[in-house]
Amino acid sequence: MQPKLVIFDLDGTLVDGARAAIPAMQHAFEAVGLPKPNDAQVMDMIGLSIIPAIQHILNSFNQIRTVSDSEVEQIGEIYKNYFYQSRIAEKHPMPLYDGALKALAELQTQDEILLGIATGNSRRGVNAFLDKHNLRDAFFTTQCASECPSKPHPEMILQAMRDAGVEAAQTIMIGDTSFDMQMAKAANVYAIGVNWGYHSQDIMLSAGADIIVDNFEQLTAQILEFLDVK
Catalytic, 214? Answer no
Residue 61, pLDDT score: 93
Q: Where in the chain is the domain with CATH 1.10.150.240?
A: 18-89
Q: Is the pLDDT at 108 greater than 80, yes or no? A: yes
* 4-16+95-226 placed in CATH 3.40.50.1000: yes
Give me the pLDDT at residue 44, please: 93
CATH architecture of 18-89: Orthogonal Bundle (1.10)
d(CA 75, CA 156): 25
| Mean pLDDT, range 72-97, rounded to an integer | 89
Report residue 202's pLDDT band, with 50, 70 and 90 as the boundaries. Answer: very high
C-alpha of 119 from chain center: 4
* Tens-digit pLDDT profile for residues 127-185: 999 999 999 999 999 999 999 999 999 999 999 999 999 999 999 999 999 999 999 99
Distances (CA, A) of 168 to 4, 41, 159: 9, 33, 11
Catalytic site residue 16?
A: no
pLDDT for residue 92: 75
Looking at residue 88, its pLDDT comes to: 81
Average pLDDT on 54-71 reads 92
Average pLDDT over residues 196-213: 97
- pLDDT number for residue 57: 95
In whole numbers, what is the pLDDT of the chain averaged over residues? 95
Query: For the chain, how many residues are written?
Result: 230
- Write down the pLDDT at residue 93: 80
Cα-to-chain-centroid distance, residue 20: 14
Question: What's the mean pLDDT in 115-124?
Answer: 95
Q: Which of 9, 16, 176, 180 is catalytic?
A: 9
Please list the residue range(s) of the chain that carry CATH number 3.40.50.1000.
4-16+95-226
CA pair distance 74, 78, nearest whole angstrom: 6
Distance CA 77, CA 82 (A): 9
Q: Active site residue: 11, 16, 44, 176, which one?
A: 11
pLDDT tens digits along 7-40: 999 999 999 999 999 999 999 999 999 999 999 9
Q: What is the mean pLDDT of residues 34-52?
A: 94
Q: Quick one: pLDDT band at residue 117, thresholds 50, 70, 90? A: very high
Assign 91 a pLDDT band (cuts: 50, 70, 90).
Answer: confident
- Give the pLDDT mean for 95-100: 95
Average pLDDT in the 44-57 region?
A: 93
